[in-house]
Every structure is written in C-alpha cells, then in structure tokens.
Amino acid sequence: MTHPIVKLLTQRIALGLLLLLAASALIFAGTQILPGDVAQSILGQSATPEALANLRAELGLNEPALTRYLHWLGAALQGDLGTALTNGQDIATAMGQRLSNTLFLAACAAVIAVPTAILLGLIAVRYEGRWPDKLISGVTLSTVSVPEFLLGYIAMFLLAVKVTAFPSVATIYAGMSLLEKLQAVALPVLVLVLVVLGHMMRMTRAAILNVMQSAYIETAELKGLRPFVIIAKHALPNAIAPVVNVVMLNLAYLVVGVVVVEVVFIYPGMGQYLVDHVAKRDVPVVQACGLVFAAVYIGLNMLADVIAILANPRLRHPK
Amino acid sequence: MADTLLDVRDLKIAATVYPPGEKPRDIEIVHGVSFTLQKGKVLGLIGESGAGKSTIGLSSMAYGRGGVRISGGQVMLNGRDILAGNEAGLRALRGKEVTYVAQSAAAAFNPAKRLMEQVIEATLKHGRASRAEAEARAVKLFRKLGLPEPEKFGERYPHQVSGGQLQRAMTAMALCPEPDLVVFDEPTTALDVTTQIDVLAAIKEAIHDTGVAALYITHDLAVVAQVADHIMVLRNGAMVEYGDTRQIIEAPHEDYTRALVSVRSIDHEEKRPTPAPLLKVENLNARYRGTAFDVLKNVSVELHPGQTLAVVGESGSGKSTLARAITGLLSPSAGRISFAGRTLSAEMEDRSRDDLRELQMIYQMADVAMNPRHTVGKIIGRPLEFYFGLKGAAKRRRVIELLDEIEMGEKFIDRYPAELSGGQKQRVCIARALAAKPKMIICDEVTSALDPLVADGILKLLLDLQRIEGVAYLFITHDLATVRAIADSIAVMYRGQVVRYGSKAEVLAPPFDDYTDLLLSSVPEMKLGWLEHVIAHRKMESAGA
C-alpha cells in the first residue's frame, strides 16, 4: 500500500504542471492578441506585402494558432526557446547567463532575508506589544512602504557615494571570484532584503501569535520552559505552513519581481533582459521570459505546498 | 505541621474585564480562600463553572490564565511563599515541584511533536534525570497507566492515539518529573462515560503508587468522591464547605452541598405507549456524502405523542446523525420516516411548512444557536412571525407568554444573548422551539454543557412543558442520569445500531446485553468505594470468562 502522502504530493505536483501548462497558453495567447505580428515588427512599417507574406510563410505564421502554440511548447520542453528577432541569438543560451545572475542575486537576498525575518518574527512574538516588537514592526513596515527604486537610490547615495563602501553599479561577469561578485551585488541585495523582510516577518509574527493561543502553549508554560524556547520549539513547528507559504511568495518575488531593482543597479539579470526586449517588441524573448517566470513562480508555490504537507504530522503519520 | 505541602492563605484573585464602551476594570473572582494540603493527600475542588476551581488550582503554580492574576494572600509551597518569587523562580518550580493535567489532553499536547518528547520534556528541562532515565521512567508510567505497547507508545503523535489514551499520557507527563503536587483539572470530563471509569481508576492508582499529592478539580461530585481524601466545595469564588470526603457525601452541612449531592433526583413516572405513534422510524440507513460507511444501520424507533424517547450512546454512536436524518438535514440511504401519519420526505427542501413547524430542534451549544445581535424578543418572535404571521402587540404578547412559560418573564425581552447565563440561553432556545407550537422537539445534548444544578432546572422545565403542551421529545444524550430522569422509552445506540430498545423499565432492568451493562455500570455513583467495587467486579468477571 502506498503512503497516502505520496498520493497527495503526486496530486499537488500534477496540479502544478497543469497550472504551468495553462500559464503557457495564456502567455502565448497574450502575445498573439497584440497588434501587428512578428513579420511586421522585423521588416518594419515600410515593408512590401510580398516581403511580409514571404517572411510569414518562412516563420510559419500562416499556420493556425494552435499548431504554432504546440510547436512553441514542444520546442520549449526540449530546451529550445527559439531565437531572438532583434539579434538572431539563441534565446536559451542568452537567457541562461541572465537567469543564473538573477538566481544568484535572489539566493544572496534569500539567505539573509529568510532567517532574519523568522528570527525577528520570533523576537516580536516574545516581546509582543513591548518596545522590541514595536521597533521591529515599525522599521520593517517603513522599509516595505518605501518604493524599491527609491530605496535603491538612497542606498546608493549613502553607501556608494557618501561612504564609498560598495559599487553603485552592480556589474558582474564570468571570471569574477565569488567575493568580488558578492561585493558587486551588495547594494541590490540590501534593497531586496529590506523589501521582502517586512512581509515575511509580519506573517511569521501573525502565524505564531495565532498558535500561541493554543492550549499546548499553556502546557509548555506550566512545564517551566523559557518563553523563547516555547515560541521556537512549540509554536514555530505548528506555524510552518503559513510561514513557508509567505516565504515562497517572497522568494518568487525575488526572481520575478526584481525588474526594477535590476534596472536601478544595471544588473545583467532577467529583469534587464526582459525590459530591453519588451522595448524592442521582441515577442519570442518576451514569451520565453514569461514562461520562465511562470515556471519559477508556480514551482516555488508548489514547493511551499509540498513542505506544508510534509510538515503536517497528521499527513506524515496517518493513524 | 511538618508534612504540610501546600498552604494557601486568604487567596484573592482578580481579573481585568473590558466592558464595551467603558474603561477596563478589575473584578475580584476569588474572595479570600484558605486551605492546606498534606503531603501525599488528594484534595477535591468542586463547584459549578465560574466557581473559581481552575483558577485556584493554577494558583498553586502562581499561574493566571489570560488577564487573571493573584491579587492577594499567600501560597506557601514546601514552606516558602511562591508569590514572592520572580518569573525565573516560578519557571524553576513549574513542571518540577508542581505539574498540571488539563481537561482536554487532545488540545494540551503539541500536535507537531511525538508524545515521548513531550512527556519527558519537563523532566529534562529541570535536570531531574538523563534522557535515558527519563524515557525509562516514562515507559514505566505508560505501563502503570495501562497504555498499549508501553515501549513504543511514546513514538506516536497525539493524533494517533485516542482521547482516553491521551488523558493517561498527560497524567504520565505530569508524574514523570516526580513532582510533589499534581493539579488535575477536570481530567475525565471530556471523555465518554465508559472511558472515564478506566482513566479515573488509572489516575487513582498512579496517585496511590507514587505517593504524590493532588488537587483534583471537577464539577462532578460523584467523580471526586472516588479519588479525594478531602473535598472543598466552592461557589462564586468563595468556599462553601470543607470536610473529609465521607462527611461531604454522607452528611453535608450546607444547603448548597446538599443540592449538589442530591442532583439528578427528579422523579419521573414513565408513560404508557399510545396506539398511534407520532414518529415512526423504520429500517433507517444513512451515510455521509462521499463515504462508503453506514453511520446508521437499520435503525427503527417510535415516539408517542407527549412522551420522551431518550437516545443514548457514546460519541460516534450515531445519535446526532439520527437527529439529522429525522430533520431532513441528512437524507437517508434507505428506510422510512413517518411523522403524525405522514411520510416525511428525505430532503428538507421537499417538506411542507407544517412538517418543518411541527418538528423543532434544540442544540447543545445554546450560545452559538442564537444570533448574538438579536434581542431575546426578536429571537423568540422570529418563528411567531414566520409560521403564524404575528406582528406588533400580538407578537409581543405571545413572546411574553413564552418567557413566562420558561420562568424568565418580560424583563428579559430586550436583553441580548451575551447578557444571559448558560441556563437562561438554553431556556430561550426552548422558548423559540415552543413558539412554533411543535408536536415534537429534538433535544440534542441540551444539558451537556450546563452545570448539574442548572441542567436539573432545564430538565424540570422540559417535563413541565411536556405536561402542559403535550409536546414529545426525542432526547439525545450520553448521560444516563438524564435518561433516568426524563425518559418514557429508551434506545441505546452503539456503532450506528440500536442495541437495546424498549420502555424505560425494560431497558434499565436486567438481564442486560454486554454494552448496556458496561454503559450503566460506568456511571459514577455518589458513594465511597464505588470505583473499586466496579473495577474489582469487572476483573472478576473477565477472570471468570
């Protein structure tokens, strides 16, 4: 007999894949309903009808939309995201470097932000309603409230101009040592951490406070345990599901939503890449970026659900 | 005295209340209670809800729930005043010198941690033993408390064991650090009566064998009489009477104690069946949607006009499902329900307005069965408007009549549910059901959430109303004392089937089937030595079998 959790996880993963398929259809349909087509944008407004017709036939644009969608999806599944219209480069190759840069930036921010947010959440619960709680909430709420481009410029002004501790432009390239890379991305990482910290900390605090009402917390208090031990050992394990969900949402933001920060710091990541090609109306690149972003977003949320399922002892150890 | 463990002197406890629209203020909820507890003795604290039992019990650990705090007096434990200490000092005492067993072990265990980890946690924290020693001690306690597979029991998670087992595990958790005092806070109240007796016997034996002292808190005098050496009767945060258990049970001094002792002594003469039953349930089967398991199996019962059919059984026996099928909330998969000569449709939507009107229902939780934003007048007036089209002065007159019938009167007409006591809320629910002029009322555990004396009042009222209005009751309960008090006929349910059915005299007279025997012999009796007697009797029988 298979463990019921296997069935649950299989279902969840299948659902994630289905969702991704739906997202790919939406992305494809979205780029189709834009006015003008690829042939037009390659040849420009002054192209002759004959030239347009030839190019359309060559690119397969006369095929029905469904056929083109299936071709595109089939190729994408094999790692072929097509070629960029503007420079004829293979998108998968061009994007590979960009994506790894974005993931590097996101990973640096996550490694700092996630543990800090959870720890601050625990401290806020420990001193609920007292000054440490108010201070933590106040500071994180205000950094969340400031738009990230402004945070970016403030950080630049203070840490790159006033005190020349870090470079204001986050340029990284192959061949840099890890330390050099870390120094280069310090400012965008700082901004990203400040942006996501508040949300994660507030949710951790709320989820744990919710659990703190439970009778088993009283049991722990009556065992004479220290307050922080009670919060970390007895409350946190029962707040995993909501905390993981909000952590994953923020991780997804770190990958998908970094566009503004990458532009501010001129960082060679996915955001920059997408913005450049949107401006040039390079539809295959926009589609490919959309697909990758959707995959990251859905994948991380799926991971959150999987962790939440695994963290539930009722599902892990059925009767 | 040298062997005094706990000496509570003039204990005063206050709580902060937040009345809407006013400044928060403190009210005193325990008014100067004093008592002493000798080493190795058991003191029973008894009283109704709100008497301050739990609050006083927790004060032995200097712990106040929510906004509750100790505002005066002394709590001397092992000769020192624990109220004088700071938080760190209290943490050193809690879980080491004094431990606690909560009413609902199901809620008091952390669902995310294995039982063993939780049982030995306090022992390790206070350095009372090494991990290996603590685990060995826990296994020994599991065995003593009659838990299955004691060596492996600790590997399970709370949701993997039954409620009765969890309550024993909580007792093991309390005894593991070898404390001087254990506070038992209604440890068997949430259990079925057949489970309660085993847990009670296990707790009593464990107290006896370890020689620990205990405060045993309960609202059930018959239960505390089995385990306590002394009993303190509390009411509204003050002591009513204190004495040794025999004196309290057999020769109480105070009227209030006498009332508690003689609770559930309503005399009720059972009525003869009439030729035409009002409700006839024939071969009913029912299951919940999406399941392949019959919750009701071939259930057949009858209820005669103006009489009471008590449906009795443990949780999960199908009592409430039967009520849901009769009201049409759950449509049966097979069988027939006829009511007042008509066949009732399976679905509630297909029933006529008269079918709905003549069959009313009252629930266990009166406070969630009423809209908190409606006044009593509006709550009782709703069915008058809906079924009879009454309005204005005529409606008000009828509401007042009904309020008089439930012995509350006109002055309650503009009150909100939050301003009523538990018993008053249940009375309003009764009036609301009566307003529809029903032929039959389904009462689903209507007295289970109430204190014994209040419950008695409700039962008396229901019987009076039956005499005056001629209404029939289908009375669902797990409490056999209630059944004795009000039933004309009884159906005993077990795992979805009616295992015994007949007039009250027939059902409650031997020879019994095994389940009914177990159920009847498990109801605590208000006499000393009852528990030992029953347990010894059962051991003898199982040895003989």
Query: Rounded to an integer, what distance in angstroms lies between the CA atom of residue A24 and that of residue B536?
Result: 73
Q: Establish if B259 touches chain A: CB-CB under 8 angstroms.
A: no
DSSP code per residue over B451-473: -HHHHHHHHHHHHHHHHHH--EE
Residue ranges of the domains in chain B? Answer: 4-261, 279-509
Torsional class of B216: left (φ above 0), alpha (ψ -120 to 50), beta (otherwise): beta
Would you call A234 and B113 a contact, using CB atoms and an 8 Å cutoff?
A: yes
Q: Which residues of A touch B160 (CB under 8 A)?
A: 317, 319
Residue A143's domain comprises 100-282
User: What is the homologous superfamily of the domain B279-509 according to CATH?
Assistant: P-loop containing nucleotide triphosphate hydrolases (3.40.50.300)
Residue B239 phi/psi, 5-degree rounding, is -80, 135
Q: Which of B305, B441, B439, B290 lies closest to B363, judged by CA?
A: B441
Q: Which residues of B touch A223 (CB under 8 A)?
A: 94-95, 99, 121-122, 125
Out of A222, A313, A319, closest to residue B94 by CB:
A222
What is the domain count for chain A? Answer: 1
A105 domain-assigned: yes
Q: Establish if A162 touches chain B: CB-CB under 8 angstroms.
A: no
pLDDT of the residue at B542: 79
Out of B100, B112, B118, closest to residue A222 by CB:
B100
Q: How far from each other are the two terminal CA atoms of chain B, in whole angstroms?
A: 50
Query: Rounded to an integer, what distance in angstroms lies between the CA atom of residue A301 and that of residue A20?
Result: 12
Q: Establish if B163 touches chain A: CB-CB under 8 angstroms.
A: no
The answer for residues whose C-beta is within 8 angstroms of residue A293's C-beta and 6 or more apart is A255, A256, A270
Out of A214, A224, A317, closest to residue B125 by CB:
A224
Q: Establish if A100 touches chain B: CB-CB under 8 angstroms.
A: no
Residue B27 phi/psi, 5-degree rounding, is -125, 145
Q: Which residue has the tokens 């005492």?
A: B93
- Across the strands, what pairs with B336? B282
Alpha helix locations (H) across B40-176?
A: 53-59, 87-93, 105-108, 115-119, 121-125, 131-144, 150-153, 163-175
Query: Rounded to an integer, what distance in angstroms lies between the CA atom of residue B346 and that of residue B327?
Result: 9
Would you call A216 and B61 a contact, using CB atoms and an 8 Å cutoff?
A: no
Task: Fill in the DSSP letter of residue B269.
Answer: P
**Burial class of residue B458, CB neighbours in 10 A (0-12, 13-18, 19+):** buried
Give the DSSP H/E element, type plus range, for residue A98: helix A91-126
Reduced to 3 states (helix: H, G, I; strand: E, B; else coil), residue B369 is coil
Q: Which of residues 232-271 of A touch B (CB under 8 A)?
A: 234, 237-238, 240
Would you call B63 and A221 a contact, using CB atoms and an 8 Å cutoff?
A: yes
> What is the CA angle B376-B382-B384, rounded to 5?
110
Q: Say how many CA atoms lie within 13 Å of B325 toward its Cβ.
A: 32
Query: Rounded to an integer, what distance in angstroms lies between the CA atom of residue A245 and that of residue B307?
Result: 56
To 10 degrees, what angle do helices B514-521 and B530-544 make? 160
Q: Which residues of B touch A221 (CB under 8 A)?
A: 63, 94
Q: Establish if B113 touches chain A: CB-CB under 8 angstroms.
A: yes
User: Consecutive sets of 10 residues in chain A, 319 residues long: mean pLDDT of each?
Assistant: 80 92 91 73 77 80 83 86 80 88 92 95 93 93 88 89 83 83 90 91 93 92 94 92 91 86 88 84 85 91 90 84
Would you call B95 and A218 a contact, using CB atoms and an 8 Å cutoff?
A: no
Cis before B275? omega within 30: no
What one-letter code names the amino acid at B264?
R
pLDDT of the residue at B545: 56
Say if CB B23 and CB B208 are below 8 A apart: no
Reduced to 3 states (helix: H, G, I; strand: E, B; else coil), residue B145 is coil
Query: Rounded to an integer, what distance in angstroms lies between the CA atom of residue A261 and that of residue A151?
Result: 9
Would you call B111 and A225 a contact, using CB atoms and an 8 Å cutoff?
A: no
The torsion of the CA quartet B186, B188, B191, B192, rounded to 10 degrees, works out to -130
A217 domain-assigned: yes
pLDDT of the residue at B1: 46
Would you call A215 and B93 a contact, using CB atoms and an 8 Å cutoff?
A: no
pLDDT of the residue at B2: 52
Query: Rounded to an integer, what distance in angstroms lies between the CA atom of residue B282 and that of residue B303?
Result: 12
What chain B residue is nearest to A313 in terms of C-alpha separation? B112
Alpha helix locations (H) across B371-476?
A: 376-388, 392-405, 422-435, 452-469
Q: How far is A217 from chain B (nearest CA, A)?
A: 8
Would you call A224 and B157 a contact, using CB atoms and an 8 Å cutoff?
A: no
The answer for residues whose C-beta is within 8 angstroms of residue B497's C-beta and 6 or more apart is B297, B298, B299, B318
What one-letter code names the amino acid at B95?
G
Query: Rounded to an integer, what distance in angstroms lies between the CA atom of residue A284 and that of residue A39?
Result: 12
Residue B170 phi/psi, 5-degree rounding, is -65, -40
Q: Which residues of A touch B61 (CB under 8 A)?
A: 222
Task: Name the fold adopted by B4-261.
Answer: Rossmann fold (3.40.50)
Task: Fill in the DSSP letter of residue B229.
Answer: S
Say if CB A24 and CB A294 are below 8 A apart: yes
CA of B485: how far to CAs of B267, B268, B456, in Å?
Answer: 6, 6, 9
CA of B309: how far to CAs of A2, B448, B491, in Å?
Answer: 46, 17, 7
Would you call A224 and B122 a contact, using CB atoms and an 8 Å cutoff?
A: yes
For the four alpha carbons of A304, A307, A309 and A312, in that order, the dihedral sign comes to negative
Query: Rounded to an integer, what distance in angstroms lies between the CA atom of residue A206 and that of residue B379?
Result: 37
Q: Say how many CA atoms lie within 13 Å of B486 toward its Cβ.
A: 34
A239 domain-assigned: yes
Q: Which residues of A touch B104 (CB under 8 A)?
A: 215
Rounded to the nearest angstrom, the gap between the alpha carbon of residue B335 and the centroid of all alpha carbons in its chain is: 33
Report the residue of B121, B128, B167, B171 to disrupt the A interface, i.e. the one with the largest count of A CBs within 10 Å: B121
Would you call A222 and B121 a contact, using CB atoms and an 8 Å cutoff?
A: no
Q: Establish if B121 touches chain A: CB-CB under 8 angstroms.
A: yes
pLDDT tens digits in sequence order for chain B, 545 residues long:
458 999 999 999 998 877 777 788 888 889 999 999 999 999 999 988 778 888 999 999 999 887 788 998 999 999 889 998 888 999 999 999 999 999 888 889 999 999 999 999 999 999 989 999 999 999 999 998 889 899 999 999 998 888 889 999 999 999 999 999 999 998 988 788 888 888 899 899 889 988 899 999 998 888 999 999 999 999 988 999 999 999 999 899 999 998 888 766 666 777 877 778 999 999 999 988 777 788 899 999 999 999 999 999 888 888 889 999 999 888 888 999 999 888 988 888 889 988 899 999 998 888 889 998 999 999 999 999 999 999 989 999 999 999 999 988 899 999 998 888 888 999 999 999 999 999 999 999 898 878 888 888 899 899 999 999 899 999 999 888 888 888 999 999 998 999 999 998 899 888 888 888 888 888 888 888 889 888 888 888 877 65
Residue B182 phi/psi, 5-degree rounding, is -120, 135
Q: How far is B94 from chain A (nearest CA, A)?
A: 5
ipTM: 0.79
Out of A214, A225, A240, closest to residue B125 by CB:
A225
Torsional class of B217: left (φ above 0), alpha (ψ -120 to 50), beta (otherwise): beta
Q: Say how many CA atoms lie within 13 Å of B19 toward its Cβ.
A: 6
What one-letter code names the amino acid at A39?
A
**Burial class of residue B172, CB neighbours in 10 A (0-12, 13-18, 19+):** buried
Rounded to the nearest angstrom, the gap between the alpha carbon of residue B179 and the centroid of all alpha carbons in its chain is: 28
Pairing label, strands B230-235, B238-244 = antiparallel
List the strands of the sheet with B342-343, edge to edge.
B296-303, B279-286, B334-339, B342-343
Out of B109, B125, B157, closest to residue A223 by CB:
B125
Would you call A317 and B100 a contact, using CB atoms and an 8 Å cutoff?
A: no
pLDDT of the residue at A58: 78
Reduced to 3 states (helix: H, G, I; strand: E, B; else coil), residue B238 is strand
Q: How far is A63 from chain B (nearest CA, A)?
A: 47
Out of A234, A317, A319, closest to residue B110 by CB:
A234
A191 domain-assigned: yes
A43 domain-assigned: no
CATH number at residue A269: 1.10.3720.10
Q: Establish if B94 touches chain A: CB-CB under 8 angstroms.
A: yes
pLDDT of the residue at B430: 94
Q: Which residues of B touch A225 (CB under 8 A)?
A: 91, 95, 121-122, 125
Q: How many helices (H) and strands (E) does chain A have?
A: 15, 0
